[in-house]
Amino acid sequence: MAIVQFKTESSAELELLQKINRALPAELQQQYNDLSAMI
């Protein structure tokens, strides 16, 4: 469900998520990257 919801985010919201991601610790960033690869 979350992945489908993620796909429908606007590009501006995705940009914001990416900015937040860059501020996260490296281990969390790796988990985020793994999730992004599935989308």
What confidence score (pLDDT) does residue 1 get? Answer: 45
pLDDT of residue 32: 76
Average pLDDT of every residue of the chain: 72
Tell me the per-residue pLDDT of 3-18, one tens digit each, with 9 for 90 and over.
Answer: 555 565 578 888 888 8
- Would you state the pLDDT for residue 5? 57
In this predicted structure, the answer to whether residue 35 has a pLDDT above a threshold of 70 is yes
Q: Terminus-to-terminus CA distance in the chain, angstroms? A: 12
More confident residue, 15 or 29: 15
3-state secondary structure of 37: helix
Closest to 22 measured CA to CA, from 33, 13, 7: 33
Supply 4's token pair.
């489908």
As a whole number of angstroms, the distance between CA 30 and CA 1 comes to 21
